[in-house]
Amino acid sequence: MHHELKFIKEEVEKRALNETDKEIIEKSILDGIETAWDRLYKQQPQCGFGLLGVCCNRCVLGPCRIDPFGGEPQRGVCGATSDLIVARNLLDTLATGAAAHSDHGREVLEVLLHTAEGKSQGYQITDEEKLKAVAEDYGIKIEGRTKEEIAKELAVAMLEEFGTLTHGIKFVDARVPEKTKQMWQKLSIVPRSVDREIVEAMHRVQMGVDSDYVNILLHALRTALSDGWGGSMMATDCSDILFGTPTPKTSIFNLSVLSKDKVNVILHGHNPILSEMIVKASEDPEILKLAEQKGAKGINLAGMCCTGNELLMRKGVPIAGTLLDQELAIVTGAVEAMIIDYQCIFPSITFTASCYHTKVISTSSKAKFPGAIHMEFNPGSAYDTAKQILRIAVENFPNRNPDRVKIPEKPMKVMAGFSEEVIRKALGGSYKPLIDLIVSGKIKGAVGIVGCNNPKIKMDYGHVTLAKELIKRDILVVETGCSAVACGKAGLLQPEAADIAGEGLRQVCKTLGIPPVLHMGSCVDCSRILVMASKIAKELGVGIEDLPLGGAAPEWYSQKAVSIGSYFVASGVYTVLGIPPTVMGSKNVVELLTDKIKGLTNSAFAVEPDPLKAADLLESEIIRKRKALGI
Ligand code: XCC
Ligand code: SF4
């Protein structure tokens, strides 16, 4: 028994950095619940061909694989080389991620359209100022028109851009600095429309279509740009129009945000459309009364993954955790319902939930989970459905077994809600003050740390270590996605965290009362980082590729992260990955992405699992770009 406990403690230490996570990981082991860490263990050793990206399962001439050591076979049945197989796999992966972001964007647009037409239930156009600003980018007439008229024309114009024949993506014309755009034009990677690039990617990976790895990778960049400057940006901007552009607010993070005496409802996934309505319905007197009848002191909503980030940014809803917390949240034994939309939801959660009293409620027709209760969500009846869903949660409260509940104690305070608009306004309307700080060297530059958790890395270690190291070196950090949540759990999203920043950055944060790590939103909100970078570049009269910026995804796992990393690099932002992508089986592909691309976009990918070394790479890149700017 003693041995066993020691083993558990050691195992827990290996898995996570955060104390609240460790507590529940220990409970998961004691409860005998299988989690992602166990499943990763059972997958060992993972397929070497797969890790290198040299297997192809694209057609039934195969499956084929290439000998990575130079022996036979060196070609698939169709004749594909390792370069081609690797590049094609990468394009496929990236297109999947771009599609995920963009399809989410499309759904937001549809709700905006229905709302403008008066066909949705419970939604309204909240941010008229943003509506008008975006409409202007689209050349839509504003004067003398109602917000509904403007919103309708905007939503249709954006929806049309998913497959436009007549023009490109308006945000590219309106927002990308001229110099950066010229760089794309030279490479023929200006995105033409959102769906088109993704469909063309699928076409190109069909056997016997694109067989030139360089040509494939260039299209990968174009597809990524259609996500970053297209689908994702539309998702962000129209979510702001519908629900409000984020402003700074304080909240709390980690598994201790769960309540001992209220009905705990976790909102997990990515699209704010449903969850915003759940927030609204959670204040409905009928629901609150039912909760009281069931012996609960109210409803406690907590976010998870990017749905959590969306709600935090606009409503200050607490966040229970990241990708790897989804199973742990259920293991607390305190969650009445986990409401899911889509993306990053482990197919295992219904199984995990079956070991406790938690009900998993799926809501999207495109993301069903065997074992979940499916409550299809439609904008036309959104509020009614939200109430029905909450009723299920509340009615489940008496089934909570107090003997099996464990909620950690200390929630961490955070400050979040840093939209591009808010940052710019705080600086007095233009980026001039920030530019001056960068020129003077008080702030050396900025790095966007984004992306997921991955059980291959001690949970949060990569994000937190890198962020701390960068702020120490006077590099401002902006974050989205699970990275922002990881750093929030570690206390880096509070103004007090400036104490561990370098002298220059510390002064700036203290003066402004802001944290040295700014939470800018969900994964699609990486588009906010692009907008901020492009506004700074325009003020300076340079391209994004000239700015002292960097990107990092220390613990990424997702296809979506491949798309994000690629639109960063294509936009000129050097990006360091903590986990190698499955491209190492092609020397040529690796060389192109980590080196040769520098001549094309003045940026590249790097792979560096050690966050301290990643900080070195990012800093030297920032210094290189500062020198080129003559500062
Ligand atoms: Fe987190 Fe966005 Fe990654 Fe998913 S992908 S694990 S950042 S929730 Ni967007
Ligand atoms: Fe094999 Fe070529 Fe078919 Fe891929 S596309 S499975 S390499 S034959």
Report how far ligand 2's centroid is from the alpha carbon of 76 (Å).
5
Who's near 25: CB < 8 A, 6+ residues apart? 11, 12, 15, 16, 35, 37, 328
Report how far ligand 2's centroid is from the alpha carbon of 56 (Å).
6
Separation CA 575–CA 505 (nearest Å): 22
Tens of pLDDT, residues 592-601: 999 999 999 9
pLDDT reading at 395 higher than 60: yes
pLDDT of residue 2: 66
Q: Is the CB of 81 inside a 6 Å radius of any atom of ligand 2?
A: no
Based on its alpha-carbon atoms, the radius of gyration of the chain, rounded to whole angstroms, reads 24
pLDDT of residue 5: 86
pLDDT reading at 3 higher than 80: no
Ligand 1, pocket-test mutation among 344, 483, 524, 559, most atoms within 8 A of CB: 344
Taken in order 460, 466, 469, 470, the sign of the CA dihedral is: negative
Tens of pLDDT, residues 600-615: 999 999 999 999 999 9
Exposure of 367 in the CB half-sphere (CA atoms within 13 A): 22
- On whether the CB atoms of residues 625 and 548 are closer than 8 A, the answer is yes
Ligand closest to the CA atom of residue 308: 1
Tens of pLDDT, residues 255-268: 999 999 999 999 99
Average pLDDT estimate for 38-44:
98
Ligand 2, pocket-test mutation among 49, 59, 216, most atoms within 8 A of CB: 59
pLDDT reading at 303 higher than 80: yes
Tens of pLDDT, residues 534-593: 999 999 999 999 999 999 999 999 999 999 999 999 999 999 999 999 999 999 999 999
List the residue whose alpha carbon is closest to atom 3 of ligand 1.
Answer: 452
pLDDT reading at 456 higher than 60: yes
Q: Is the CB of 84 inside a 6 Å radius of any atom of ligand 2?
A: no
Report how far ligand 2's centroid is from the alpha carbon of 60 (Å).
7
**Where residue 164 falls among pLDDT bands split at 50, 70, 90?**
confident
For 54, phi then psi, to 5°, come to: -100, 20
Nearest residue to 194 via CA among 173, 223, 166, 152: 223
List the residue whose alpha carbon is closest to atom 6 of ligand 2.
Answer: 62
Separation CA 40–CA 454 (nearest Å): 10
Tens of pLDDT, residues 399-452: 999 999 999 999 999 999 999 999 999 999 999 999 999 999 999 999 999 999
Q: Is the CB of 558 inside a 6 Å radius of any atom of ligand 1?
A: yes
Ligand closest to the CA atom of residue 64: 2
Ligand 1, pocket-test mutation among 102, 323, 519, 577, most atoms within 8 A of CB: 323
- On whether the CB atoms of residues 565 and 571 are closer than 8 A, the answer is no
**Where residue 165 falls among pLDDT bands split at 50, 70, 90?**
confident
pLDDT reading at 1 higher than 60: no
Ligand 2, pocket-test mutation among 88, 207, 216, most atoms within 8 A of CB: 207
Tens of pLDDT, residues 229-251: 999 999 999 999 999 999 999 99
pLDDT of residue 218: 98
Q: Is the CB of 358 inside a 6 Å radius of any atom of ligand 1?
A: no
Separation CA 130–CA 345 (nearest Å): 31
List the residue whose alpha carbon is closest to atom 6 of ligand 1.
Answer: 452
Average pLDDT estimate for 16-35:
98
Ligand closest to the CA atom of residue 346: 1
Exposure of 495 in the CB half-sphere (CA atoms within 13 A): 11
Separation CA 94–CA 569 (nearest Å): 13
Q: Is the CB of 482 inside a 6 Å radius of any atom of ligand 1?
A: yes
